Chains A and B, each alone.
Chain A
Amino acid sequence: MSVLFDILGSVGMWEAVLRIATPLILGTLGVLLCERVGVLNLGIEGIMAFGAMIGWLTVYQGGDLWTGMLAAALGGAAFGFLHALLTVPLGLSQHVTGLGITLFASSFAYYVFRLAVPTASSPPTIDPFQPLSVPVLSEIPFLGPVLFNQTAPTYLAVAFVALIAWGLYRTPLGLAVRMAGENPHALDAQGIDPIWLRIGTIMAGSALMGMGGAFLTLSAFNSFFPTMIQGRGWVCVALVVFASWRPGRALLGALLFALFDAFQLRLQTVVDGVPYQLFLMMPYLLSIVALIIMARRARVPQALMQPYRRGER
């Protein structure tokens, strides 16, 4: 028992929570934007892989770290555009298109990686983002290192939560986005074209997914390998439901999942006689439980997964 308390009391574990949560926060916000405007984006798993690769490759080729982030965002937006084109004006099945994007983007990522690095047997590395201590605040005992000794993209991800919450609930554009996900006919009747709004928002959301992927290669680790997303994208899709499509709760959900993950990682090292795979399973299992509790009261965007065609109901 005391082992558990040791883990829960360690600064190291809590510091890891925010780090593990960062790609989830970015990815969840991305899915949230897409779904709020009415389109499911299951391309996230592949878009994150592509973002991780292109971000890493940009830096590996001599670009600086922020240029890498930007490249990941642009790459994500490009795949978002493809997804939007197929699902919005063409109205194809969003499930099938999303899965197709995932398969395509992850394979394409590995292909480009192999073109760039044809021979290396162990993945080459770059110099990743270093922790950025916020003056004064990082001196606070316990909370300081946990919250204010993270890398820059982590602060950025948290800032995005506030930005998107403000955008969705306080600006005319955000209201239009929410309306497009609830009733695009009403939006059209007010003279705003839901098609373009959906395309644009999906691209923005996918850019966030790309950045979430790039965090893995540019901050959490320092190299790219093809299986590194490990289902994080799917977790984001579930977290959006957990969050009832609200940015603040999305942050909460990502932190909770990250907490389970950080906890089981440490548990693996101290508990003997139990296969470690059992611990690996834990965050997912707990997520399902949390989803069952939270999602029953969720208000699903009414037009989610319904293609919009003018003059048709």
Chain B
Amino acid sequence: MTRVLELSHITKRFGAVTANEDVSLHLDRGEIVALLGENGAGKTTLMSILFGHYTADEGTVRVEGQELPPGRSRAAIRAGVGMVHQHFALAPNLSVLDNVMTGTEPLWRLRSDRAAGRAKLVALSERFGLRVDPDALVSDLSVGECQRVEILKALYNDARILILDEPTAVLTAQEAESLFATLRQMTENGLSLIFISHKLHEVMSASDRVVVLRRGCVVAERRTSETSREELAELMVGRKVERPARAPAVPGRVLLEAVDLSLHGKGGASLHDVSFRLRAGETLGIIGVSGNGQTTLAGVVSGLYPPSSGSLSVDGRAVTRHTVPDAIAAGIGRIPEDRNAEGSIGDMTTWENAVLERIWSPDFSARGFVRRAAARKATADILARYDVRGASVDGRIRLLSGGNMQKLILGRVLEAGPDILVAAQPSRGLDEGAIAGVHARLLEARGRGAGVLLISEDLDEVIALSDRIRAIVNGRLSPAIPAGRANAQLLGLMMAGDWSAAERIEAETHDAL
């Protein structure tokens, strides 16, 4: 085993905050190391030091035995270190080839050798199975394709060591799987990889070795084959984390009923003849690979789009006006899929974000004026009750971490006491501790008698929270199965469109529901 990378005794402080303390880490050739830690554990800081974005206060970085000068990304690139950022560093208006070639030639050349660049890019993408059209504009690419471009950028710079910062944060489950297959193939070609993650299942399935970081320190290092998910979870969080267990459901009256809902071309995918019932006090899980119509379904239920045919009734009354304010008035609460784009307005304050959905209610406005004091107080209550950390009532909401923003959104929705809760991908991008908190809240809402429509692509989450589960495939809903009969294999079949087993189970259990 050749040691390709060695970080020794790295310490980095930002003012009074110590982001990394005496961190040592190594990487051997052909190895995949997972850097595991919760949000804020110092993973990204450490990798930014390695890549020269930050200068360490103490410690050294060696690549293949050579010490890297601190604070120079160019030196890191030359030494063969490539970084794939969590937020893609791509220019949407430029072509793939432009994005990849930027900064790879001497700046003062009179003519850029695009033919050679194209040939090299095509060769790399074939060798590593990263298919992408060199002339496509980046703005036309899917998220998964953008990530391929990011990886190709690093490979184009002749990277032998690749660092991926939370590579799956924005990917669908399928894209993530194919990414890890690609990474494995890359190690066979002699590359060495570090990926940063807080997701236990991908660390367990994709790494050779795990380094656990907590509060800026390395707390453990394990061979992946010799550890378990439970052990890693405990090491990462520093205490035992248990996701809350679900009490048996006490389903009540039908709160939401959809009959033959169809919609074409809104929210990214169509719906075809979707029918389902949601009762009070139960959670209906809708599982499916992204892009199969779940976003559209959530949009229709929460009033964003009117269906082109079919009907929707809330609490026995047919919905005639499909608008968001009407949906909110009818008691439908919404946890949107993309909390930054649809759930919050980054440059507005926490309190404005907290009350915006209900700004016309007499609680928060009177005679055309906002009741700021009442709104601030309500926000302060949410911050306290839902344990939103790092937020101030008057601070910009952009500054919140993903988990805390999700807590705030949950608080905002639940404080309104909705009868129906539409939760779309509620724990996407959150770390273990935050996921447990979100799950507890969703179960609490159900216990209070709300009907929860849970839309997720995480099998564990759906099985843990739902009473009944349907799969969504190409805009159609599968038969419902009780959660007690669900397992990964059956759900996999349902998500793939094979509903024969599910139909049998539904027929058997129909009377019970």
Q: Restricting to A40-77, which residues have a CB under 8 Å from any CB of B?
A: none
A301: Cβ under 8 A from any B Cβ: yes
Q: How far is the CB of A74 from the nearest CB of chain B, in Å?
A: 21
Closest to A311 in B: B53
Closest to B398 in A: A313
A313 proximity list for chain B (CB < 8 A) = 87
Q: Decide: A185 and B89 in contact? CB cutoff 8 A.
A: yes
Q: How far is the CB of B140 from the nearest CB of chain A, in Å?
A: 12
A188: Cβ under 8 A from any B Cβ: yes
Count of chain A residues with a beta carbon within 8 Å of a chain B beta carbon: 25
Q: Decide: A189 and B107 in contact? CB cutoff 8 A.
A: no
Q: Decide: B91 and A176 in contact? CB cutoff 8 A.
A: no
A273: Cβ under 8 A from any B Cβ: no
Q: Decide: A186 and B90 in contact? CB cutoff 8 A.
A: yes
Q: Decide: B103 and A187 in contact? CB cutoff 8 A.
A: yes
Q: How far is the CA of A175 from the CA of B106 in the complex (A)?
A: 12
On whether A175 and B73 interact (CB within 8 A), knowing A183-B90, A189-B85, the answer reads: no
Q: How far is the CA of A188 from the CA of B83 in the complex (A)?
A: 12
On whether A186 and B74 interact (CB within 8 A), knowing A171-B111, A172-B109, the answer reads: no
Q: Decide: B94 and A172 in contact? CB cutoff 8 A.
A: no
Q: How far is the CB of B235 from the nearest CB of chain A, in Å?
A: 29
Q: Decide: B101 and A175 in contact? CB cutoff 8 A.
A: yes
Q: How far is the CA of A170 from the CA of B54 in the complex (A)?
A: 33
Q: Decide: A179 and B53 in contact? CB cutoff 8 A.
A: no
Residue of A170, A179, A188 most packed against chain B (CB within 10 A) = A179
Q: How far is the CB of B43 from the nearest CB of chain A, in Å?
A: 15
A190: Cβ under 8 A from any B Cβ: yes
When the two chains form the complex, which single residue of A173, A183, A186, A302 contacts B107, counting CB atoms closer than 8 Å?
Answer: A173
B296 proximity list for chain A (CB < 8 A) = none
Q: Decide: B83 and A172 in contact? CB cutoff 8 A.
A: no
A299 proximity list for chain B (CB < 8 A) = 93
A178: Cβ under 8 A from any B Cβ: yes
Q: Decide: B94 and A178 in contact? CB cutoff 8 A.
A: yes
Q: Restricting to B365-412, which residues have a CB under 8 Å from any CB of A?
A: none
Q: How far is the CA of A223 from the CA of B199 in the complex (A)?
A: 72
A182: Cβ under 8 A from any B Cβ: yes
Q: Decide: A189 and B89 in contact? CB cutoff 8 A.
A: yes
Q: How far is the CA of A191 from the CA of B104 in the complex (A)?
A: 9
Residue of A170, A182, A190, A301 most packed against chain B (CB within 10 A) = A190
Q: Decide: A190 and B104 in contact? CB cutoff 8 A.
A: yes
Q: How far is the CB of A224 from the nearest CB of chain B, in Å?
A: 37
B228: Cβ under 8 A from any A Cβ: no
Q: Decide: B91 and A186 in contact? CB cutoff 8 A.
A: yes
Q: Restricting to B218-236, which residues have a CB under 8 Å from any CB of A?
A: none
Q: How far is the CA of A171 from the CA of B111 in the complex (A)?
A: 5
A162: Cβ under 8 A from any B Cβ: no
B204: Cβ under 8 A from any A Cβ: no
Closest to B94 in A: A182
B112 proximity list for chain A (CB < 8 A) = 170-172, 174-175
Q: Restricting to B73-108, which residues have a CB under 8 Å from any CB of A?
A: 73-74, 77, 83, 85, 87, 89-94, 98-99, 101-108
Q: How far is the CA of A68 from the CA of B50 in the complex (A)?
A: 51
Q: How far is the CB of A264 from the nearest CB of chain B, in Å?
A: 36
Q: Decide: B54 and A186 in contact? CB cutoff 8 A.
A: no
Q: How far is the CB of B104 from the nearest CB of chain A, in Å?
A: 7
Interface of A is mostly: helix
When the two chains form the complex, which single residue of A170, A187, A301 contacts B102, counting CB atoms closer than 8 Å?
Answer: A187
B101 proximity list for chain A (CB < 8 A) = 172, 175
Count of chain B residues with a beta carbon within 8 Å of a chain A beta carbon: 32
B247: Cβ under 8 A from any A Cβ: no
A309: Cβ under 8 A from any B Cβ: no
When the two chains form the complex, which single residue of B53, B87, B93, B110 contacts A301, counting CB atoms closer than 8 Å?
Answer: B93
A114: Cβ under 8 A from any B Cβ: no
B77 proximity list for chain A (CB < 8 A) = 190-191
Q: How far is the CA of A227 from the CA of B103 in the complex (A)?
A: 44
Q: Decide: A182 and B92 in contact? CB cutoff 8 A.
A: yes
On whether A173 and B87 interact (CB within 8 A), knowing A178-B98, A301-B93, A311-B54, the answer reads: no
A170 proximity list for chain B (CB < 8 A) = 111-112
Q: How far is the CA of A176 from the CA of B98 in the complex (A)?
A: 9
Q: Decide: A176 and B103 in contact? CB cutoff 8 A.
A: yes
On whether A176 and B102 interact (CB within 8 A), knowing A185-B89, A189-B85, the answer reads: yes
Q: Decide: A183 and B91 in contact? CB cutoff 8 A.
A: yes
When the two chains form the complex, which single residue of B93, B104, B108 contacts A173, counting CB atoms closer than 8 Å?
Answer: B108
Q: How far is the CB of A299 from the nearest CB of chain B, in Å?
A: 5
Interface membership of chain B positions 241-270, coded 1 if the CB is closer than 8 angstroms to chain A and 0 otherwise: 000000000000000000000000000000
A174 proximity list for chain B (CB < 8 A) = 112
A192 proximity list for chain B (CB < 8 A) = 102-103, 107
A179 proximity list for chain B (CB < 8 A) = 91, 94, 98-99, 102-103
On whether A183 and B108 interact (CB within 8 A), knowing A176-B102, A178-B98, A192-B103, the answer reads: no
Q: How far is the CA of A45 from the CA of B466 in the complex (A)?
A: 65
Q: How far is the CB of B89 from the nearest CB of chain A, in Å?
A: 4
When the two chains form the complex, which single residue of A172, A178, A185, A190 contacts B106, counting CB atoms closer than 8 Å?
Answer: A172
Closest to A167 in B: B110
A186 proximity list for chain B (CB < 8 A) = 89-91, 99, 102
Q: How far is the CA of A186 from the CA of B104 in the complex (A)?
A: 12
B99 proximity list for chain A (CB < 8 A) = 179, 186
Q: How far is the CA of A171 from the CA of B85 in the complex (A)?
A: 26
Q: How far is the CA of A172 from the CA of B112 in the complex (A)?
A: 5
A302 proximity list for chain B (CB < 8 A) = 91-93
Which B residues are closer than 8 A to A by beta carbons? 48, 53-54, 72-74, 77, 83, 85, 87, 89-94, 98-99, 101-112, 153, 157
Selected A-B contacts with CB under 8 Å, 11 pairs:
A172-B109, A172-B112, A173-B109, A174-B112, A175-B101, A175-B112, A179-B98, A179-B102, A183-B92, A191-B73, A299-B93
Which A residues are closer than 8 A to B by beta carbons? 170-176, 178-179, 182-183, 185-192, 299, 301-302, 310-311, 313
| 9 closest Cβ pairs, A-B complex | A190-B103, A191-B74, A182-B91, A186-B89, A172-B105, A183-B91, A179-B102, A189-B89, A173-B107
